Amino acid sequence: MLMVTVLAGAVLLVAGGDLPGGLVTRVLAPSAAGVAGAAAPLAVLIGRGEVDLSAIGVVGVGTWAYAQVDSVGLGLLIAALAGLVIGTMVGGLRVAIGAPPAVLSLAVGLLAAFGANRALGGRGQRTELIDGWAVPVLLAMVIVGLAIGAAFLLRPGRPTGVAPSPDVTAAYALAGVGSAVFGAISAGRGGFAVPQDTGFTLLVIFAAIGVGGVGGVGVGFGWAAPLLAAGGALATQLLLTGLTLHWSPATALVVLGVVTVLATLTVYGVVRTAGGPPPGLPFGPSPLAPVPSGSSTPTPPPPPPRSGW
């Protein structure tokens, strides 16, 4: 599905005829880089049986933080630090009280979105312009590299609902950084910071994860997950850019959502039918691995103690 999406996006761009000047360097590359930086750490969390929805508000916090200074470098640094604080808080609470990650992260994200949108106001704020593609792409490469390192260092995936170990806080912190930097890049691309469309934010990030194939397998991927999510970001932004040349943005988002669902279900069906990830690929332990010979059913792991709630 990843290659199919890339091909479809490329065909739509070519069919667009006279493309706007700088479409690739000023629109496609920075937007894909921002999404890749936000999606790669989330792919690591999915590999741990976790999920982080706080991007729904952390992206807006990054947008607001970037607008507070008249410097590209300092603005990006402040945004990254704000995301680091929020991500660390989400991970710390997840470990400390054992609350369901989706509920906890969504609650924090909604509070962050409310605060950021109120701070930006209805008219938004002017920001320093991030010109070109070099800075966003470099930041994306750094974040994706850190996500790959985190996938190596963190413990293997585990079933959803099991109390997390403290090291998962680092993955949440990195996810916060990636989401906030995504917001800062979005503000810097146009030179104006506006309140974020929370639905659009989550869609483009999780579309990258779904089209990249990570959403269909979950804990079956190891360090390949951030790379696949980054590839999914490029594919989905290519598709979205091509779609908006022919149809309205609303129609383009609906098509992107359908593609994401189909990609996730396709990858899940293929991997489940095959009995697990193909051997020889850089994947980690899979919950869909075939049952060893001589055993009719897999032995369920003992239920670990739950902490807090």
Q: How far is CA 30 from CA 100, 190, 219, in A?
A: 33, 11, 29
Lowest-confidence range among 62-76, 148-162, 234-248? Answer: 148-162
pLDDT at 276 over 60: no
What predicted TM-score, i.e. pTM, was given to this entire model? 0.83
Across 13-27, 34-48, 75-89, 263-277, which has the greatest mean pLDDT? Answer: 75-89
Alpha carbon distance 49, 221 (integer Å): 11
pLDDT at 274 over 50: yes
Asked if the 2-9+23-274 domain carries CATH number 1.10.260, the reply is no
* H or E, element range at 156: none
Lowest-confidence range among 93-97, 231-235, 248-252? Answer: 248-252
Tokens encoding 217: 């397998």
Q: How confident is the model at residue 206 (pLDDT cuts 50, 70, 90)?
A: very high
Q: Higher pLDDT residue, 125 or 177?
A: 177
Closest by Cα among 26, 206, 290 to 133: 26
Q: What is the mean pLDDT of residues 162-183?
A: 88
Closest by Cα among 128, 27, 32 to 73: 128
Mean pLDDT of the chain: 81
Give start and end residues of each alpha helix (H) in the chain: 2-15, 29-47, 55-66, 72-97, 101-120, 134-153, 168-190, 198-212, 214-217, 224-244, 249-274
DSSP state at residue 223: T
Alpha carbon distance 294, 66 (integer Å): 59
pLDDT at 110 over 80: yes
Alpha carbon distance 271, 293 (integer Å): 19
Lowest-confidence range among 28-32, 76-80, 86-90, 106-110? Answer: 28-32
